[in-house]
Structure 1
Amino acid sequence: MGAKDEVGRYGERLAARRLGEAGMTVLQTNWRCRAGEIDIVARDGDCLVVCEVKTRRSTRAGSPLEAVTPAKVARLRRLAGEWLHAHPGLRPPHVRLDVVAVTLPVRGAAHVEHLRGVS
């Protein structure tokens, strides 16, 4: 696994911890299908949350949130449908798309920002 992958995995662990601290239950991480990957699937009450995690070492090329384009949001919607299709026993009344942006400075603690409902 390369350094970039390690940074991404670390960001995903921080994101999962933040979601748990917010009272959510992480159901699955790094779920893959032919259409792509969902970083985190969680439950927030009766809502299924499909979460994209973006991790950056700096903001020189923009914030991690800027990397979540309308095309990425559309892809997350399709992946949410694929996940639900693969888990027919789960029929949540609500599905929400969230983004967790993680910035890892050279020194100091990571900055973690959770954006809810990015559709």
Structure 2
Amino acid sequence: MRAGKIRHRITVYKQTSGRSPTGAVLPPTWTAWIVLWASFESLSVKDILTAQAAGSEVEARCMLRYRNDIDSTMQISHNGRRYDIDGEPMPDNRSGREYMTLMLKSVAA
């Protein structure tokens, strides 16, 4: 992937949970984990309609350099909007270790 395409800043969030001082389980919260450079693009209307026909809610695509520590349990933030990662990250076609693509669906505020 060419470096010029990776021009958007995204934040990756992990879900964390903990316990109160009394030992009660606290509800899970989203914590900013890492900030990365990525290529972020919203899907076209045609792609969104095709995805909806297939039963998917995907609205955007994010490509970033390959990492083995990002999975579908995390969220992405870009320009103040939050997205769930829909499915496992998809590796590139060549080596599978150059970049990966995340399919994203919007999170209700």
Which of these two proteins has the greater Rg computed from alpha carbons? 2
Name the structure with the higher strand share.
2
TM class, shorter-length: 0.3 to 0.5
| TM superposition score normalised by structure 1 | 0.32
Name the structure with the higher helix share.
1
| TM superposition score normalised by structure 2 | 0.33
